[in-house]
Amino acid sequence: SQTIHQWPATLVQPVGSPLSLECTVEGTSNPNLYWYRQAAGRGLQLLFYSVGIGQISSEVPQNLSASRPQDRQFILSSKKLLLSDSGFYLCAWTRGRIGEQFFGPGTRLTVL
């Protein structure tokens, strides 16, 4: 069966510090991978998606970047965090183009 992991679960970082959030998927190959951010009480905003190794598409210009160094690994990064980067970050994967998305447990990021 497939599983998706995210870490860390929670993170408190000072403004201006770097960020690295990791997402890994097990039990499937060549998944589409997604990073979302959810602000408090809001819906999900798609940040990045990837259809293969090294292939990253950005949906929203921002202070963040993403990388996919391996087939089932998706990393969200920042060189210098802003207060507005605080939120709940969710990773998800799909098989193919259309269908159910499977979400990870999320990372709660607080930038102080």
Answer yes or no: are the C-beta atoms of 48 and 35 closer than 8 Å: yes
Which residue, 83 or 98, has its beta carbon nearer to another protein? 98
SS3 of 76, please? strand
Binding residues with another protein: total (CB under 8 A): 28
Shortest Å distance, C-beta 80 to another protein: 27
Among 25, 81, 92, 109, binds another protein (CB under 8 A): 92
Which residue, 41 or 61, has its beta carbon nearer to another protein? 41
Peptide bond into 8 cis (omega under 30): yes
Which one, of 97, 77, 99, lies nearest residue 89 by Cα? 77
Shortest Å distance, C-beta 24 to another protein: 14
SS3 of 112, please? coil
Answer yes or no: are the C-beta atoms of 50 and 65 closer than 8 Å: no
Which residue, 15 or 39, has its beta carbon nearer to another protein? 39
Q: Which stretch binds another protein (CB under 8 A): 13-21, 65-73, 79-87, 100-108?
A: 100-108
Q: Looking at residues 32 to 91 of the shown chain, list those that interact with another protein (rule: CB under 8 A).
A: 32, 34, 36, 41-44, 46, 49, 51, 57, 59, 88, 90
Q: Where are the alpha helices (DSSP H) in the chain?
A: none
